[in-house]
A and B are shown apart, each in its own frame.
Chain A
Amino acid sequence: KQEVTQIPAALSVPEGENLVLNCSFTDSAIYNLQWFRQDPGKGLTSLLLIQSSQREQTSGRLNASLDKSSGRSTLYIAASQPGDSATYLCAVRPQVNAGGTSYGKLTFGQGTILTVHP
């Protein structure tokens, strides 16, 4: 059974700092990995999606890396801002089955609560 763990559970940093969020998963047979952002009282917003064949994806100040063989992903946030304060979740999708799809069944980590203070 796939298990996803995120470290740290919470992180508080001053504005402008570069930071790294960690995600580890126990089964390396994944199709892709996604990083989501969740604001209080809101739904999840997809930030980055990395296919199993890729090593990293970048969007603006965000960079996500994937090391499938070691079961790890990191989300790097450059020059953090107070507006980055949110919960960040990673989720993995199992490898495509013989029928050609894994039906998008994501396994989520418990999230990292990020606070960026001015």
Chain B
Amino acid sequence: NAGVTQTPKFRILKIGQSMTLQCTQDMNHNYMYWYRQDPGMGLKLIYYSVGAGITDKGEVPNGYNVSRSTTEDFPLRLELAAPSQTSVYFCASSYDGLGAKNIQYFGAGTRLSVL
């Protein structure tokens, strides 16, 4: 019962490098989300997707890109990494029906440092 799986768990990038954070879920959820969490702060939404082929910007999308070619996968792409992107990144998914199906399930996170 894997739930939401994120890889890698840790990564150090040099300024200007690019990378893709992977996220996959096995719960057949329609909705998927990417958040970032800076120290001592709450989570901020980067991008979200309501289904395969459909994505939209969240609160802090600059410097990131996403794609959703399948229901299961929602990768987050960082182009030209900057120190301001040093953060912990969380992927989440939800069925997003009514009531209990609103609950978002989170991965364990990817800790990224840009030096």
Number of B interface residues, CB 8 Å? 27
List of B residues within 8 angstroms of A104 by Cβ: 31, 33, 48, 94, 96, 102, 104
Q: Are A105 and B45 neighbours in the complex by a CB distance under 8 Å? A: yes
Does A118 lie at the interface of the complex (its beta carbon under 8 Å from any beta carbon of B)?
A: no
Q: Pick from B100, B102, B106: contact of A45, CB below 8 A.
A: B106
Name the interface residues of A73-110: CB closer than 8 Å to any CB of B: 89, 91, 93, 101, 103-110
Does A64 lie at the interface of the complex (its beta carbon under 8 Å from any beta carbon of B)?
A: no
Does B2 lie at the interface of the complex (its beta carbon under 8 Å from any beta carbon of A)?
A: no
A34 to B106, CA, bound (A): 13
Task: Determine the residue in chain B with the shortest Cβ distance to A96.
Answer: B98
Which of A43, A49, A105, A108 has the most chain B CB atoms closer than 10 A to its own CB?
A43
Q: Pick from A9, A41, A106: contact of B104, CB below 8 A.
A: A106
Does B12 lie at the interface of the complex (its beta carbon under 8 Å from any beta carbon of A)?
A: no
**Contact string against A for B residues 54-98, beta-carbon threshold 8 Å, 1 for contact and 0 otherwise:** 001010000000000000000000000000000000101010100
Known interface pairs A43-B4, A44-B106, A93-B102. Does A103 touch B43 (Cβ–Cβ under 8 Å)? no
List of A residues within 8 angstroms of B106 by Cβ: 43-45
Instruction: Give me the interface of B with A, judged by CB distance under 8 Å.
Output: 4, 31, 33, 40-45, 48, 50, 56, 58, 90, 92, 94, 96, 99-100, 102-109
Given A31-B102, A106-B45: 19 more A-B contacts, CB < 8 Å? A9-B40, A41-B109, A42-B109, A43-B4, A43-B106, A43-B107, A43-B108, A44-B92, A45-B106, A46-B105, A91-B43, A93-B102, A103-B56, A104-B48, A104-B96, A104-B102, A105-B45, A109-B42, A110-B41
Top 9 nearest A-B pairs by Cβ distance? A108-B42, A43-B106, A44-B106, A108-B43, A43-B108, A110-B42, A46-B103, A104-B96, A109-B42
